[in-house]
Amino acid sequence: MQDRERDARIEDAVRNTHVVRPPQQALATFGQTIIKYHLISRPVYADLDIGGPKDETVVRDGVVRAERPQVVTPYYLSRLEGFSDNASRYLQYLMREYGPAAPGLLYTYRNEHAGTNFVSGRAEEVAARIMDSLDREKRALEAVIHGVDDLWDVSLMKFIFELTNSSARSNFNELRSMGLLESKGGVPEDARRRIESMLEQARRGELDPSVVHRELERWGVFDEYEDRFLGLFRGR
């Protein structure tokens, strides 16, 4: 498949994905948020003349785990591995436009697909049944997504993007109200607290010191914390 055709199919999947029941709560500012999803779609074989049931819906269940959003800066992001040249150029633009220490939020997710079922009824009917059940049982952290069968992971990514977008403002404001976006030496207070926590975990043997070293280098503050970092190895 050519890149242009693939891009067109992805765009089509995004247009035809609708979050029909979003979670009733925003992502938590502090701590992990666990959201269960029910992604429904019309089976890809529905238009094929194979003699199967005509009114059948695919239901994929799973869990998205959203970690606590981290306060980052364009400088920090520029030190992460795995970015393409174009992404790196964009980060350089952000640093010129807003400054290397401008705070932003980094969200990380993990998807755990639990299983796939085939349910009788059209997708709209199945969605309505699931939503009624979730509403009756007051399941605030469950979502129903009407997506595209063969590109269901794209549909899931659209859901995650919209969830992040709807939560970011409240998360940002809560962090700001607690002074965690204030910067000292180019490092936000939230990041300094994270570094302190990582140092303590490493001291107790719960975290590999190499992880701490990598975080200090990404923030460009290894010299500032060098004595405490080297202290992790004393007495071993």
Three-class SS string for the chain? Answer: CCHHHHHHHHHHHHHCCEEEECCCCCCCCCCCEEEEEEEEECCCCCCCCCCCCCCEEEEEEEEEEECCCEEECHHHHHCCCCCCHHHHHHHHHHHHHHCCCCCEEECCEEEEEEEEEEEECCHHHHHHHHHHHHHHCCCCCEEEEECCHHHHHHHHHHHHHHHHHHHHHHHHHHHHHCCCCCEECCEEHHHHHHHHHHHHHHHCCCCCHHHHHHHHHHHCCHHHHHHHHHHHHCCC
Tell me whether residue 102 is in a domain.
Answer: no
Tell me whether residue 153 is in a domain.
Answer: yes
Q: Are residues 111 and 138 in the same domain?
A: yes
- How many distinct structural domains can be found in the chain? 2
**pLDDT tens column, 28-47:** 999 999 999 999 999 988 76
* Residue 127 burial by Cβ neighbours in a 10 Å radius (0-12, 13-18, 19+): buried
Tell me whether residue 77 is in a domain.
Answer: no
Mean of pLDDT values over 217-223: 96
Q: Are residues 119 and 187 in the same domain?
A: no
Q: Are residues 115 and 229 in the same domain?
A: no
Share of the chain above pLDDT 70, in %: 95
**pLDDT tens column, 171-198:** 999 999 999 999 999 999 999 999 999 9
> Which is nearest to 22 in space by CA: 183, 141, 161?
141
Residue finishing a domain among 177, 198, 216: 177
Tell me whether residue 227 is in a domain.
Answer: yes
Residue finishing a domain among 160, 177, 194: 177
Q: Are residues 163 and 225 in the same domain?
A: no
Residue position matching structure tokens 């970690």? 67
Mean of pLDDT values over 72-85: 87
Q: Are residues 163 and 119 in the same domain?
A: yes
Mean of pLDDT values over 96-118: 93
Domain enclosing residue 114, as ranges: 3-69+107-177
Task: Write down the pLDDT at residue 234.
Answer: 80
Tell me whether residue 217 is in a domain.
Answer: yes
Residue finishing a domain among 177, 197, 220: 177
Share of the chain above pLDDT 90, in %: 79
Q: At 183, which amino acid appears?
A: S
- Under 8 Å between Cβ of 119 and 59: yes
Q: Are residues 227 and 121 in the same domain?
A: no
Which residues are CB-contacts of 161 (< 8 A; sequence separation ≥ 6)? none
Q: What angle (nearest 5°) sits at the alpha carbon of residue 1, between those of residues 145 and 161?
A: 30
**pLDDT tens column, 130-169:** 999 999 999 999 999 999 998 999 999 999 999 999 999 9
Q: Are residues 145 and 112 in the same domain?
A: yes
Tell me whether residue 75 is in a domain.
Answer: no
Q: Are residues 45 and 122 in the same domain?
A: yes
Query: Which range, of 17-26, 90-99, 114-123, averages the lowest pLDDT?
Result: 90-99
Q: Are residues 60 and 127 in the same domain?
A: yes
Q: Is the pLDDT of residue 52 over 60?
A: no
Mean pLDDT, the chain, as a whole number?
92
Local confidence band at 85 (pLDDT 50, 70, 90 cut-offs): confident
Mean of pLDDT values over 48-57: 68
